[in-house]
Amino acid sequence: MKQYCGFKVFPELKSWFYDQVKELRERCKELPDEYFVVLVGDMITEEALPTYQTMLNTLDGVRDETGASPTPWAIWTRAWTAEENRHGDLLNKYLYLSGRVDMRQIEKTIQYLIGSGMDPKTENNPYLGFIYTSFQEIATFISHGNTARHAKDLGDLKLAQICGTIAADEKRHETAYTKIVEKLFEIGADGTILGLADMMKKKISMPAHLMYDGQDDNLFEHFSTVAQRLGVYTAKDYADILEFLVERWNVETLPGLSSEGHRAQDFVCGLPARIRRIEERAQGRAKEAAKNVPFSWIFGREIMA
């Protein structure tokens, strides 16, 4: 056993580490560039966690007033953040050890994204905020679940386990946020349906929509196009999520609505079908406009986006 600067080095552990890295790289060497672009984009989205905690702390009545507030809302936000922090850390380490991606460009993208922040149009309103988080947790569950499925199909079972574990966390978070909104519908159906309609009129912006790597001004659009093409997260998923939430919150049968509330109800219930029609046409145009785009995350190699 050797000792350097007070730290002990165990040769058997060092050998074990190299063997594990070698195995990891062997497993992932057949993963295509398209898959890595989506995995990197998902990881970068997770790594912008400071922005999401900041967003939750803009919401009236639930924000953490001191940074260590003992209120249930503040405790939940910090605990949620602590769990979410593990997702980005885990994916970041996997990608670093894989040797398949340009970590310098990835870290630049993360820094730019956190620096840019986000505006989900929740306007400090907890009704809007928890509707947004309900939608987003389902979206991340779908995305990580699909990256897990792809990893399994491509032969990297460890990566499939990693992505599947993250997806399971997102599913639990979805359950929590959708239950919060369910309670909001119970205590104030009219205000909540108006909030849901408001958020859907604005459209649910993806949390990493300001993504930038210092080179590609349309990076998020290109990343999203690759995710759509691989079936990791699609326009159909957007419509499916809304349809799921309409059913989950019994939006079609809400009692005691005002005339304005009824109009909002009709709008929300009819929206999934409208989204599907619009997106079918948009996807047809997108396929015609597809072109090879270089991604700095994979050392400037080009893929269809």
Residue ranges of the annotated binding site are 46, 84, 87, 137, 170, 173
Helix or strand holding residue 140 (H, E): helix 126-153
CA 48 distance to own-chain centroid: 10
One-letter identity of residue 178: T
Regarding beta strands 302-304 and 7-9, do their DSSP bridges make them parallel or antiparallel, or are they unpaired? Answer: unpaired
Distance CA(203)–CA(279), nearest Å, equals 13
Q: Would you say 42 and 107 are in contact if contact means Cβ atoms under 8 Å apart?
A: no
Give yes or no for a contact between 102 and 96, defined as CB atoms under 8 angstroms apart: no
- Annotation: binding site for Fe cation: 46, 84, 87, 137, 170, 173
Give the gyration radius of the chain's Cα atoms: 21
DSSP string, 211-224: ---SS-TTHHHHHH
Phi-psi map region of 301: left, alpha, beta (phi>0 left; psi -120 to 50 alpha) = beta
| Cα end-to-end span (Å), the chain | 52
Rounded to an integer, what distance in angstroms lies between the CA atom of residue 45 and that of residue 51?
A: 10
Three-class DSSP category at 222: helix
Coil, helix or strand at residue 299: coil
Going through the chain in order, the beta strands assigned E by DSSP cover: 2-4, 7-9, 292-294, 302-304
Calculate ∠ Cα 218-241-264, nearest 5°. Answer: 100
